[in-house]
Amino acid sequence: MDGKQMLMIPGPTPVPERVLLAMAQHPIGHRTSEYSKIQAEVTENLNWLHQTQHNVQMLVSSGTGAMEAGIINVLSAGDRVVCCSNGKFGDRWVKVCQAYGLNVEIVTAEWGKPLDTEQIREKLESDSEKTIKAVILTHSETSTGALNDLETINKHVKAHGEALIIVDAVTSLGAYNIPIDDWGLDIVASGSQKGYMIPPGLGFVAVGPKAWEAYKTATLPRFYLDLGKYRKATADNSSPFTPPVNLVFGLCEALRMMKAEGLESIFARHQRLTTATRAAVKALGLQPFAPDEAASTAVTAVLGGDADAEKIRSLLKKRFDIALAGGQDHLKGQIFRIGHLGFVGDRDILAAIGALEAVLVELGSAGAATGAGITAAAKVFAGQA
Protein backbone atom coordinates (compact mmCIF):
# COMPACT_ATOMS: atom_id res chain seq x y z
CA MET A 1 0.00 0.00 0.00
CA ASP A 2 1.46 3.33 -1.04
CA GLY A 3 1.40 6.67 0.70
CA LYS A 4 1.02 5.51 4.27
CA GLN A 5 4.55 5.80 5.50
CA MET A 6 4.86 6.33 9.22
CA LEU A 7 7.83 8.53 9.97
CA MET A 8 9.35 7.60 13.31
CA ILE A 9 12.76 9.18 12.88
CA PRO A 10 14.16 12.07 14.93
CA GLY A 11 13.68 14.57 12.13
CA PRO A 12 12.12 15.30 9.79
CA THR A 13 9.08 14.53 11.89
CA PRO A 14 5.42 14.09 10.86
CA VAL A 15 3.48 17.20 9.88
CA PRO A 16 -0.21 17.64 10.81
CA GLU A 17 -2.71 18.07 8.01
CA ARG A 18 -3.69 21.48 9.36
CA VAL A 19 -0.12 22.62 8.87
CA LEU A 20 0.19 21.09 5.41
CA LEU A 21 -3.00 22.89 4.37
CA ALA A 22 -1.80 26.18 5.83
CA MET A 23 1.26 25.90 3.58
CA ALA A 24 -0.79 25.05 0.48
CA GLN A 25 -1.38 28.67 -0.51
CA HIS A 26 0.09 31.14 -2.91
CA PRO A 27 3.10 32.89 -1.43
CA ILE A 28 2.66 36.52 -0.43
CA GLY A 29 5.15 39.36 -0.56
CA HIS A 30 7.25 39.55 2.56
CA ARG A 31 7.36 43.35 2.57
CA THR A 32 3.62 43.64 3.13
CA SER A 33 1.41 44.32 6.11
CA GLU A 34 -0.08 40.85 5.64
CA TYR A 35 3.29 39.26 6.19
CA SER A 36 4.10 41.54 9.12
CA LYS A 37 0.96 40.40 10.86
CA ILE A 38 2.00 36.77 10.53
CA GLN A 39 5.56 37.53 11.62
CA ALA A 40 4.25 39.33 14.70
CA GLU A 41 2.16 36.34 15.74
CA VAL A 42 5.01 33.94 15.02
CA THR A 43 7.45 35.97 17.12
CA GLU A 44 5.03 36.16 20.03
CA ASN A 45 4.38 32.42 19.93
CA LEU A 46 8.04 31.51 19.45
CA ASN A 47 8.78 33.50 22.58
CA TRP A 48 6.03 31.59 24.37
CA LEU A 49 7.48 28.25 23.22
CA HIS A 50 10.99 29.27 24.27
CA GLN A 51 9.80 30.71 27.60
CA THR A 52 11.63 33.93 26.84
CA GLN A 53 10.79 37.60 26.59
CA HIS A 54 13.67 38.30 24.23
CA ASN A 55 12.62 37.80 20.63
CA VAL A 56 13.62 34.47 19.12
CA GLN A 57 15.36 34.89 15.76
CA MET A 58 14.30 32.80 12.77
CA LEU A 59 16.83 31.84 10.12
CA VAL A 60 16.49 30.11 6.77
CA SER A 61 18.67 27.15 7.62
CA SER A 62 18.59 23.75 9.22
CA GLY A 63 19.51 23.31 12.87
CA THR A 64 23.23 23.38 12.13
CA GLY A 65 22.94 26.89 10.67
CA ALA A 66 21.16 28.06 13.81
CA MET A 67 23.93 26.61 15.98
CA GLU A 68 26.65 28.08 13.77
CA ALA A 69 24.95 31.48 14.02
CA GLY A 70 24.85 31.10 17.79
CA ILE A 71 28.56 30.45 17.91
CA ILE A 72 29.90 33.00 15.41
CA ASN A 73 27.87 35.97 16.66
CA VAL A 74 29.27 35.96 20.19
CA LEU A 75 32.87 34.75 19.82
CA SER A 76 36.16 35.85 18.29
CA ALA A 77 39.03 33.88 16.72
CA GLY A 78 41.28 32.36 19.38
CA ASP A 79 38.61 32.43 22.09
CA ARG A 80 38.89 29.59 24.56
CA VAL A 81 35.72 27.47 24.49
CA VAL A 82 34.73 24.22 26.14
CA CYS A 83 32.86 21.92 23.77
CA CYS A 84 31.08 19.02 25.42
CA SER A 85 30.60 15.98 23.24
CA ASN A 86 28.99 12.62 23.85
CA GLY A 87 27.80 11.89 20.34
CA LYS A 88 27.63 12.86 16.70
CA PHE A 89 26.12 16.30 17.29
CA GLY A 90 28.51 17.20 20.08
CA ASP A 91 31.32 16.34 17.67
CA ARG A 92 29.77 18.67 15.10
CA TRP A 93 30.17 21.72 17.37
CA VAL A 94 33.81 20.87 17.86
CA LYS A 95 34.19 20.96 14.06
CA VAL A 96 32.32 24.26 13.71
CA CYS A 97 34.44 25.85 16.46
CA GLN A 98 37.64 24.58 14.88
CA ALA A 99 36.57 25.81 11.45
CA TYR A 100 36.34 29.33 12.90
CA GLY A 101 39.70 29.17 14.64
CA LEU A 102 38.44 28.98 18.21
CA ASN A 103 40.65 27.47 20.88
CA VAL A 104 38.61 24.36 21.60
CA GLU A 105 38.88 22.18 24.67
CA ILE A 106 36.78 19.06 24.47
CA VAL A 107 35.00 17.35 27.34
CA THR A 108 33.80 13.95 26.23
CA ALA A 109 31.67 11.15 27.57
CA GLU A 110 31.14 7.74 26.11
CA TRP A 111 28.42 7.65 23.44
CA GLY A 112 25.14 6.67 25.10
CA LYS A 113 26.16 8.09 28.48
CA PRO A 114 25.34 11.61 29.65
CA LEU A 115 28.08 14.20 30.13
CA ASP A 116 29.75 14.16 33.55
CA THR A 117 28.61 17.43 35.10
CA GLU A 118 31.36 17.24 37.75
CA GLN A 119 34.03 17.19 35.07
CA ILE A 120 32.56 20.37 33.62
CA ARG A 121 32.34 21.96 37.06
CA GLU A 122 36.00 21.19 37.75
CA LYS A 123 37.06 22.58 34.40
CA LEU A 124 35.20 25.83 35.07
CA GLU A 125 36.39 26.11 38.68
CA SER A 126 40.02 25.65 37.68
CA ASP A 127 39.72 28.63 35.32
CA SER A 128 40.71 31.25 37.89
CA GLU A 129 41.73 33.70 35.15
CA LYS A 130 38.24 33.43 33.65
CA THR A 131 39.49 32.83 30.14
CA ILE A 132 36.77 30.37 29.13
CA LYS A 133 34.41 32.32 26.88
CA ALA A 134 31.76 29.71 26.28
CA VAL A 135 30.54 26.24 27.18
CA ILE A 136 28.91 24.58 24.18
CA LEU A 137 26.77 21.47 24.49
CA THR A 138 24.06 19.34 22.95
CA HIS A 139 21.10 18.98 25.30
CA SER A 140 19.43 15.94 23.75
CA GLU A 141 22.08 13.95 21.86
CA THR A 142 20.01 12.59 18.99
CA SER A 143 22.67 10.12 17.84
CA THR A 144 22.43 8.14 21.09
CA GLY A 145 19.17 9.18 22.79
CA ALA A 146 21.05 10.53 25.82
CA LEU A 147 19.78 13.67 27.55
CA ASN A 148 22.42 15.82 29.20
CA ASP A 149 21.77 17.53 32.52
CA LEU A 150 21.49 21.06 31.17
CA GLU A 151 20.17 22.54 34.40
CA THR A 152 23.18 21.42 36.44
CA ILE A 153 25.72 22.30 33.76
CA ASN A 154 24.14 25.74 33.46
CA LYS A 155 24.51 26.24 37.22
CA HIS A 156 28.23 25.56 36.94
CA VAL A 157 28.50 27.99 34.03
CA LYS A 158 26.66 30.63 36.05
CA ALA A 159 29.03 30.04 39.00
CA HIS A 160 31.95 30.71 36.63
CA GLY A 161 30.34 34.04 35.84
CA GLU A 162 32.09 34.89 32.56
CA ALA A 163 31.42 32.06 30.15
CA LEU A 164 28.35 31.98 27.95
CA ILE A 165 26.31 28.80 27.64
CA ILE A 166 25.50 27.83 24.05
CA VAL A 167 22.97 25.03 23.73
CA ASP A 168 21.93 22.79 20.88
CA ALA A 169 18.31 22.17 21.84
CA VAL A 170 17.36 20.87 18.41
CA THR A 171 15.66 17.74 19.77
CA SER A 172 14.73 19.05 23.20
CA LEU A 173 12.97 22.31 22.42
CA GLY A 174 9.27 21.51 22.43
CA ALA A 175 9.91 18.09 23.95
CA TYR A 176 11.40 18.94 27.32
CA ASN A 177 11.06 21.87 29.70
CA ILE A 178 13.76 24.48 28.99
CA PRO A 179 12.87 27.70 30.84
CA ILE A 180 15.33 29.85 28.91
CA ASP A 181 14.86 33.13 30.79
CA ASP A 182 14.55 31.55 34.25
CA TRP A 183 17.77 29.65 33.74
CA GLY A 184 19.45 32.54 31.95
CA LEU A 185 20.54 30.48 28.95
CA ASP A 186 22.54 32.63 26.54
CA ILE A 187 22.09 30.89 23.19
CA VAL A 188 19.55 28.16 22.46
CA ALA A 189 19.35 26.81 18.92
CA SER A 190 16.75 24.58 17.27
CA GLY A 191 15.39 23.55 13.88
CA SER A 192 11.95 23.37 12.31
CA GLN A 193 11.93 19.68 11.31
CA LYS A 194 12.15 18.43 14.89
CA GLY A 195 9.73 19.52 17.63
CA TYR A 196 7.98 22.19 15.56
CA MET A 197 5.77 19.83 13.51
CA ILE A 198 6.71 21.55 10.24
CA PRO A 199 9.07 20.52 7.42
CA PRO A 200 12.83 21.28 7.39
CA GLY A 201 14.04 24.74 6.41
CA LEU A 202 13.95 27.04 9.41
CA GLY A 203 16.46 27.45 12.21
CA PHE A 204 15.72 29.28 15.46
CA VAL A 205 18.07 31.01 17.87
CA ALA A 206 17.09 32.41 21.25
CA VAL A 207 19.66 35.00 22.29
CA GLY A 208 19.83 36.28 25.87
CA PRO A 209 20.98 39.72 27.05
CA LYS A 210 24.50 38.58 27.95
CA ALA A 211 24.93 37.06 24.50
CA TRP A 212 23.79 40.32 22.89
CA GLU A 213 26.49 42.09 24.94
CA ALA A 214 29.07 39.63 23.62
CA TYR A 215 27.72 40.21 20.10
CA LYS A 216 28.97 43.81 20.26
CA THR A 217 32.62 42.83 20.58
CA ALA A 218 32.64 39.48 18.75
CA THR A 219 34.78 39.63 15.62
CA LEU A 220 34.22 36.39 13.71
CA PRO A 221 33.05 37.11 10.15
CA ARG A 222 29.29 37.13 9.68
CA PHE A 223 26.89 38.35 7.08
CA TYR A 224 23.90 36.17 6.25
CA LEU A 225 23.99 34.74 9.75
CA ASP A 226 24.54 38.11 11.44
CA LEU A 227 21.96 37.90 14.22
CA GLY A 228 21.93 41.67 14.66
CA LYS A 229 20.24 41.98 11.25
CA TYR A 230 17.56 39.52 12.34
CA ARG A 231 17.09 41.21 15.70
CA LYS A 232 16.39 44.55 14.05
CA ALA A 233 14.02 43.06 11.48
CA THR A 234 12.16 40.90 14.01
CA ALA A 235 11.53 43.94 16.18
CA ASP A 236 9.84 45.48 13.09
CA ASN A 237 7.83 42.30 12.41
CA SER A 238 9.90 41.80 9.33
CA SER A 239 12.74 39.66 8.02
CA PRO A 240 16.17 40.79 6.78
CA PHE A 241 16.09 38.51 3.72
CA THR A 242 13.32 36.72 1.86
CA PRO A 243 11.77 34.23 4.28
CA PRO A 244 10.26 30.94 3.05
CA VAL A 245 6.78 32.42 3.40
CA ASN A 246 4.89 29.17 2.96
CA LEU A 247 6.94 27.51 5.66
CA VAL A 248 6.16 30.48 7.88
CA PHE A 249 2.42 29.95 7.19
CA GLY A 250 2.94 26.40 8.42
CA LEU A 251 4.91 27.52 11.45
CA CYS A 252 2.19 29.98 12.39
CA GLU A 253 -0.41 27.19 12.33
CA ALA A 254 1.83 24.71 14.18
CA LEU A 255 2.50 27.23 16.95
CA ARG A 256 -1.26 27.77 17.32
CA MET A 257 -1.68 24.03 17.74
CA MET A 258 1.11 23.89 20.30
CA LYS A 259 -0.38 26.78 22.24
CA ALA A 260 -3.76 25.08 22.30
CA GLU A 261 -2.14 21.92 23.68
CA GLY A 262 -0.12 23.84 26.26
CA LEU A 263 3.54 23.49 27.25
CA GLU A 264 2.89 21.23 30.24
CA SER A 265 0.81 18.84 28.15
CA ILE A 266 3.38 18.79 25.37
CA PHE A 267 6.18 17.90 27.78
CA ALA A 268 4.00 15.31 29.55
CA ARG A 269 3.11 13.72 26.21
CA HIS A 270 6.77 13.40 25.19
CA GLN A 271 7.60 11.94 28.60
CA ARG A 272 4.78 9.41 28.30
CA LEU A 273 5.86 8.36 24.79
CA THR A 274 9.40 7.92 26.08
CA THR A 275 8.36 5.88 29.11
CA ALA A 276 6.11 3.64 27.01
CA THR A 277 8.74 3.11 24.31
CA ARG A 278 11.44 2.23 26.81
CA ALA A 279 9.16 -0.13 28.75
CA ALA A 280 8.13 -1.85 25.52
CA VAL A 281 11.62 -2.45 24.14
CA LYS A 282 12.75 -3.80 27.50
CA ALA A 283 9.76 -6.15 27.55
CA LEU A 284 10.92 -7.36 24.13
CA GLY A 285 14.32 -8.30 25.52
CA LEU A 286 16.16 -5.29 24.11
CA GLN A 287 18.01 -2.52 25.92
CA PRO A 288 17.67 1.23 25.44
CA PHE A 289 21.14 2.57 24.62
CA ALA A 290 20.99 5.50 27.09
CA PRO A 291 20.20 4.93 30.77
CA ASP A 292 16.72 5.68 32.18
CA GLU A 293 17.99 8.65 34.18
CA ALA A 294 19.36 10.30 31.04
CA ALA A 295 16.68 9.48 28.51
CA SER A 296 15.96 11.89 25.66
CA THR A 297 12.25 12.58 25.33
CA ALA A 298 12.62 12.91 21.55
CA VAL A 299 14.32 9.72 20.52
CA THR A 300 14.97 6.30 22.01
CA ALA A 301 18.03 4.49 20.70
CA VAL A 302 17.82 0.73 21.14
CA LEU A 303 20.54 -1.90 21.02
CA GLY A 304 19.53 -4.51 18.46
CA GLY A 305 20.41 -7.47 20.69
CA ASP A 306 21.11 -10.61 18.69
CA ALA A 307 19.47 -9.20 15.57
CA ASP A 308 21.26 -6.79 13.23
CA ALA A 309 19.69 -3.38 13.85
CA GLU A 310 19.75 -2.63 10.12
CA LYS A 311 17.79 -5.85 9.42
CA ILE A 312 15.17 -4.85 11.98
CA ARG A 313 14.87 -1.47 10.33
CA SER A 314 14.63 -2.72 6.78
CA LEU A 315 12.02 -5.34 7.67
CA LEU A 316 9.94 -2.73 9.52
CA LYS A 317 10.08 -0.55 6.45
CA LYS A 318 9.26 -3.33 4.05
CA ARG A 319 6.49 -5.00 6.02
CA PHE A 320 4.90 -2.10 7.83
CA ASP A 321 6.14 1.01 6.03
CA ILE A 322 7.46 2.37 9.32
CA ALA A 323 10.69 4.34 9.06
CA LEU A 324 13.05 4.22 12.02
CA ALA A 325 16.52 5.75 12.08
CA GLY A 326 19.70 3.70 12.18
CA GLY A 327 22.88 4.10 14.16
CA GLN A 328 25.47 6.63 13.04
CA ASP A 329 29.22 6.10 12.67
CA HIS A 330 30.45 3.15 14.77
CA LEU A 331 26.90 2.47 16.01
CA LYS A 332 25.60 1.53 12.55
CA GLY A 333 24.11 -1.96 12.75
CA GLN A 334 24.24 -1.93 16.54
CA ILE A 335 21.37 0.40 17.35
CA PHE A 336 18.16 1.63 15.78
CA ARG A 337 16.45 4.83 16.87
CA ILE A 338 12.75 5.43 17.39
CA GLY A 339 11.80 9.08 17.01
CA HIS A 340 8.86 10.23 19.14
CA LEU A 341 9.15 13.95 18.69
CA GLY A 342 6.62 16.55 17.56
CA PHE A 343 3.35 15.39 16.04
CA VAL A 344 3.47 11.92 17.60
CA GLY A 345 0.80 10.46 19.86
CA ASP A 346 0.24 7.37 22.00
CA ARG A 347 -1.40 5.54 19.10
CA ASP A 348 1.72 5.93 16.97
CA ILE A 349 3.83 4.25 19.62
CA LEU A 350 1.38 1.34 19.92
CA ALA A 351 1.54 0.85 16.14
CA ALA A 352 5.33 1.07 16.00
CA ILE A 353 5.80 -1.29 18.95
CA GLY A 354 3.30 -3.80 17.55
CA ALA A 355 5.18 -3.82 14.27
CA LEU A 356 8.53 -4.03 16.02
CA GLU A 357 7.58 -7.09 18.02
CA ALA A 358 6.30 -8.87 14.91
CA VAL A 359 9.60 -8.14 13.17
CA LEU A 360 11.68 -9.25 16.14
CA VAL A 361 9.76 -12.51 16.45
CA GLU A 362 10.12 -13.11 12.71
CA LEU A 363 13.87 -12.54 12.99
CA GLY A 364 14.03 -14.99 15.90
CA SER A 365 15.26 -12.42 18.38
CA ALA A 366 15.72 -14.06 21.79
CA GLY A 367 13.43 -12.56 24.42
CA ALA A 368 10.90 -11.20 21.94
CA ALA A 369 7.34 -12.48 22.19
CA THR A 370 4.28 -11.15 20.40
CA GLY A 371 2.20 -9.02 22.72
CA ALA A 372 4.96 -8.35 25.25
CA GLY A 373 5.89 -4.90 23.96
CA ILE A 374 2.29 -3.82 23.36
CA THR A 375 1.33 -4.91 26.87
CA ALA A 376 4.13 -2.90 28.43
CA ALA A 377 3.33 0.22 26.37
CA ALA A 378 -0.44 -0.07 26.94
CA LYS A 379 0.15 -0.27 30.69
CA VAL A 380 1.96 3.06 30.55
CA PHE A 381 -0.86 4.61 28.53
CA ALA A 382 -3.42 3.15 30.94
CA GLY A 383 -1.59 4.80 33.82
CA GLN A 384 -0.66 1.43 35.30
CA ALA A 385 3.10 1.72 34.98
Ligand X SMILES: *Cc1c(COP(=O)(O)O)cnc(C)c1O
> Of 185 and 283, which CB lies nearer to ligand X in the complex structure?
185
Nearer to ligand X, 96 or 316 (CB): 96
- Smallest distance from ligand X to CB 32, Å: 29
Asked if residue 38 lies in contact with residue 252, where contact means CB atoms within 8 angstroms, the answer is yes
Number of helices (H), then strands (E), belonging to the chain: the values are 14, 14
Quick one: angle between helices 372-381 and 346-362, nearest 10? 170
Smallest separation, CB 270 to ligand X (Å):
14
CB 187 within 8 A of CB 213: no
User: What residue number has its CB nearest to ligand X?
Assistant: 63
Q: Dmax over Cα atoms in the chain, in whole Å?
A: 64
Q: Nearer to ligand X by C-beta: 296 or 365?
A: 296
Q: How far is the CB of 167 from ligand X (least distance, A)?
A: 10
Task: Give residues in contact with ligand X (CB under 6 A).
Answer: 10-11, 62-64, 89, 138, 142, 168, 170-171, 191, 194
- Residue among 89 and 320 whose Cβ is closer to ligand X: 89
Q: Which of residues 201 and 240 has its CB atom nearest to ligand X in the complex?
A: 201
Helix ranges, the chain (H): 17-23, 33-50, 63-72, 88-99, 117-125, 150-160, 180-183, 209-217, 227-235, 245-261, 263-283, 309-320, 346-362, 372-381
- Residues 218 and 174: their CA atoms lie apart, in Å, by 30
- Please enumerate, as own/partner, the contacts of 367-373 that have beta carbons within 8 Å and a separation of 24 or more: 367/284, 367/285, 367/286, 367/305, 368/284, 368/285, 368/286, 369/284, 372/283, 372/284, 373/280, 373/281, 373/283, 373/284
**Amino acid occupying residue 315:** L
DSSP class of residue 237 equals T
Nearest approach, Cβ of residue 23 and ligand X (Å)? 19
Q: Name residue 189's beta-bridge partners.
A: 168, 205
CB-CB contact of 311 with 356 (8 Å): no
- Residue 90's Cβ-side half-sphere holds a number of Cα atoms within 13 Å equal to 29
Sheet-wide strand order for 80-85: 57-59, 203-207, 187-191, 164-168, 132-138, 80-85, 103-108
Select 89 or 249, whichever has its Cβ closest to ligand X. 89
Task: Give 64 or 238: the residue with its C-beta nearer to ligand X.
Answer: 64
Q: How far is the CB of 284 from ligand X (least distance, A)?
A: 25
Minimum Å gap between C-beta 13 and ligand X is: 10
* Distance in Å, CB of 302 to ligand X, minimum: 17
Q: In terms of CB distance, is 143 or 234 closer to ligand X?
A: 143
Q: Which is nearer to ligand X, 71 or 374 (CB)?
A: 71
Q: Kindly state the smallest distance separating residue 338's Cβ from ligand X, in Å.
A: 14
Q: Which of 126, 131, 179, 191 is nearest to 154 (CA)?
A: 179
Query: Would you say 112 and 91 are in contact if contact means Cβ atoms under 8 Å apart?
Result: no
Rounded least distance, CB 10 to ligand X, Å? 6
